[in-house]
Amino acid sequence: MKLEDLAVCVIEAAEAAGVEFMAVGAIAAGAYGVPRSTRDVDLLVSVRIPGNVAALVERLGPLVAFDEQVTFDTLTWGRRHVGRSNSSPPFKVELFETFEDPFVESEFSRRQEVFVPILNRTTWLPTPEDVVVQKLRWGRNKDLDDARDVLAVQGPETLDMAYIRNWCGQHGTTGRLEEALAGIPPL
């Protein structure tokens, strides 16, 4: 199974379970920026309806073996469920739960259905602005590259830069934003 096939299966399972979600991570960044290789499928899943994460984990059971222990994101301390696909090669599937965080709440409320070429289908994604903010917030090298690539492909002139700057100011990532903007290659 290819990663793209697994991602579609995970998305279809979320839809079938009636779970509100959006694809995040490399899938979202690649949809707005420059696609890169990845070995995982990441979804941000709403916990507004009790039990929906458990229902999704159960529905994915034939495809993905989830760890029994829930882990916590080291930056935001949000809960996440980590699993490995039963396919060869195995891929990681991470289900991040929404939680009370002003940015996460804003990001999720602004999600939109977008056609994702690598998946050959539409799915729920954060806005490009929210991808930039989240990637700058995480701050790993690949995330900083993703933020720069989304800024470059979308163009700062088409993005709501005031929105991005506001969140970066709140997160203390304005310096990262300025570095990403300075790293955009000239046309």
- In whole angstroms, give the CA distance from residue 109 to residue 56: 20
pTM listed for this prediction: 0.92
Domain ranges, ordered by start, for the chain: 1-126, 127-187
Residue length of the chain: 187
> Which class is 1-126 in CATH?
alpha beta
Return per-residue pLDDT of the chain as tens, 187 residues.
899 999 999 999 999 999 999 999 999 999 999 988 899 999 999 988 888 899 999 999 999 999 988 887 766 667 899 999 999 899 999 999 998 899 999 999 999 999 999 999 999 999 999 999 999 999 999 999 999 999 999 999 999 999 999 999 999 999 999 999 999 988 7
For residue 156, give the amino acid letter: P
pLDDT score for 122: 97
pLDDT at 75: 66
Inter-residue contact 129 to 164 (CB < 8 Å): yes
- Establish how many alpha carbons lie within 13 A of residue 1's alpha carbon, considering only the half-sphere containing its beta carbon: 20
pLDDT of residue 76: 66
